[in-house]
Chain A
């Protein structure tokens, strides 16, 4: 029983990170039709921004405060990079989807290589606030405390995003744009502003996932963005491209099945189960669980 609780909470923690990456990916694809391969790079920017700031804030004694300021810096950097990428690289290729995907592929490769050139290919240790390294007893299971942070952050981001999408004018434009972009344009609304906004929001969420992944794995590496991105893609496709709720459900399903299968099956089984799940969903329901716009 205690193992099951531990697996469940760890799976939810992993799912939380998937959700943070997938939410941005899904909105960007839903609105603009761009499969953003550079999204993993935004995560790397957030992760290294947090790590770098924390390392240089030697004047502050409290590790918690250093982590918080570091994360804020990383997130701001992620939003900035994502916004600039949209303005400079994606916007000039408006409506040319294949070229846009190719540019994000180039950016992902060049960006990861740049981080590797500056800070090396090996992983760097990350100083975690002490409480996050401790465990809490839940029904006999010793659950690492950082899992709570991940789950809580993802839940807050989910609620905030929903509020933003449902209650604000820009949220309305984004939702309408996902449904039917030409109609929104025909009504005289400049959808392109929403494009930059959606990229920046995606950058924030991915950078946040980066800051959390530092704690989850206890280190930073240039490769992590790419490896998490593949699973985030799977989550987005299972959930239904463009659907936030679908992404949330799918990230929980993927995170949990990965943990269970890796433990009760054998190492590596988790990844295979998730991939088979993707295959089944695509062939049975090509539009994903939420049935939003795919293909």
Chain B
């Protein structure tokens, strides 16, 4: 079979396999706490899939368009909070709430993006950070008692469709997360291969050149920003359904940094990389705590035991190691040894080699 066919067959079989997980009662010791179809395991897997998708939305900005945003959490949080508020505080139905959040998910990034994309680089990073901080402060401020401040609040279950309520229905939420991940993947794949998508990648490589060619980078960057933010808002809605209610953590700058880590961990600028990064990070963040409590680690001397019991310490260290030794992320490691098969890969690997050859020359020139 040709390479193109494999590219369709393999992911499709993976999705089919994942879709059947709630029907499999096999127990995988060490990897999961209970059987695959137990609510606890399904909940964890659903979170992994969800963040695989959300990480990919961030990769659309950072990896494909070269926009370093520190405010992606804001658009995710719009999905989480406004769905919860519309359902619980305004007593709207599920349908109208979703429509309202979808409208917000389009209007907010269009307005904010149009203004903040006027500046680039670090200034853009700071404006996005500032916008996200306004969101974080507002959530803590609890205007009109809508957000519930630091304590937040629980979603009103009565307003949700029955299929998404209760422990027994975790499998439906799992399927929802799977649908979300697949949808984000397909949309991002379609978008980056469309002609605006190619311009996003051109902007990442050399924005001035795009401008010289007579195109308006601002317009295309805004397109990427709105699409990525809208998909993140949708992810926020799924996240809310998976949880009992919103938490202020999703508005924090730390949350955006987490997405950045996921993308770099898996491989920025690649679809599979970002998803694998999101899945792996979420899994490790949830399961490394169990490793810390295990008897093997508890038996270690204190110097080793204390750091090993903190998942974020391990993840942060892993992240630094990846940046140092595998700049292409996990997927970059996997494809590194293979010979380039297509012209595009050949071209990009040549470019990378040329960069490696010329880089030391440049520094000696500067130093001389």
Contact = CB atoms under 8 A, between A and B. Distances in A.
Interface in B327-368: 327, 359, 363, 366-368
A114 B261 contact: no
B310 interface: yes
A283 interface: yes
Contacts of A118: 306
Contacts of A92: 324
Contacts of B131: 275, 279
A25 to B, nearest CB: 12
| Chain A: number of interface residues, binned into ranges | 35 or more
Interface stretch (A99-107, A125-133, A161-169, A199-207): A99-107
Interface string B127-166: 1011101100110110000000000000000000000000
Interface in A143-182: 182
Contacts of A94: 363
A294 B323 CA distance: 25
A26 to B, nearest CB: 12
B contact patch SS: helix
A105 B257 contact: yes
B261 A106 contact: yes
Nearest to A288: B123
Interface in A102-116: 102-103, 105-114, 116
A140 B319 CA distance: 54
Interface in A72-115: 89, 92-95, 98-99, 101-103, 105-114
Contacts of A112: 312
A195 B57 CA distance: 36
Interface residues of B, number: 46
Interface centre among B126, B133, B141, B359 (most CB of A within 10 A): B126
B122 A111 contact: no
29 contacts: A35-B125, A93-B323, A102-B323, A106-B316, A106-B317, A109-B257, A109-B261, A109-B312, A110-B319, A111-B316, A113-B311, A116-B310, A117-B313, A185-B366, A185-B367, A186-B366, A230-B253, A234-B126, A237-B123, A267-B141, A268-B138, A271-B133, A271-B137, A275-B131, A275-B137, A294-B122, A295-B119, A295-B120, A295-B121
A295 B127 CA distance: 12
Given A117-B307, A268-B138, A271-B133, A107 B123 contact: no
Contacts of A276: 134
Contacts of A186: 366, 368
B130 A102 contact: no
A109 B319 contact: yes
A contact patch SS: helix
Contact of A35 (B122, B264, B306): B122
B81 to A, nearest CB: 16
Interface in B290-324: 306-307, 309-313, 315-317, 319-320, 323-324
A226 interface: yes
Contact of A114 (B119, B129, B138, B313): B313
A116 B261 CA distance: 20
B60 interface: no
A102 B264 contact: yes
Given A99-B323, A230-B253, A295-B122, A110 B127 contact: no
Given A99-B323, A109-B319, 11 more contacts: A102-B264, A106-B261, A111-B316, A113-B316, A117-B309, A275-B130, A275-B131, A275-B133, A275-B137, A279-B131, A282-B127
B260 interface: yes
Contacts of B129: 230, 233
Contacts of B363: 94-95
Contact of B119 (A89, A113, A282): A282
Interface centre among A93, A268, A271, A294 (most CB of B within 10 A): A268
B68 interface: yes
A110 B316 contact: yes
A105 B261 CA distance: 9
Given A110-B317, A268-B138, A99 B327 contact: yes
B324 A268 contact: no
B366 A268 contact: no
A271 B120 CA distance: 24
Given A230-B129, A230-B253, A102 B137 contact: no
A94 B364 CA distance: 13
Interface in A198-233: 226, 230, 233
B254 interface: yes
B30 interface: no
A105 to B, nearest CB: 6
A286 interface: yes
A295 B133 CA distance: 20
Given A109-B261, A117-B306, A233 B126 contact: yes
A268 B119 contact: no
Contact of B260 (A95, A102, A271, A286): A102
A279 B122 contact: no
A111 B318 CA distance: 13
A212 B138 CA distance: 28
Contacts of B12: none
Contacts of B130: 234, 275, 278-279
Given A105-B261, A109-B315, A182-B366, A278 B126 contact: yes
Interface string A263-295: 000111001100110110011001000000011
A241 interface: yes
Ranked 8 nearest A-B pairs via Cβ: A110-B316, A113-B312, A268-B141, A117-B310, A109-B316, A113-B313, A106-B319, A106-B320
B262 to A, nearest CB: 12
A239 B81 CA distance: 34
A110 B231 CA distance: 29
Nearest to A233: B126
B215 interface: no
Contacts of A105: 257, 260-261, 319
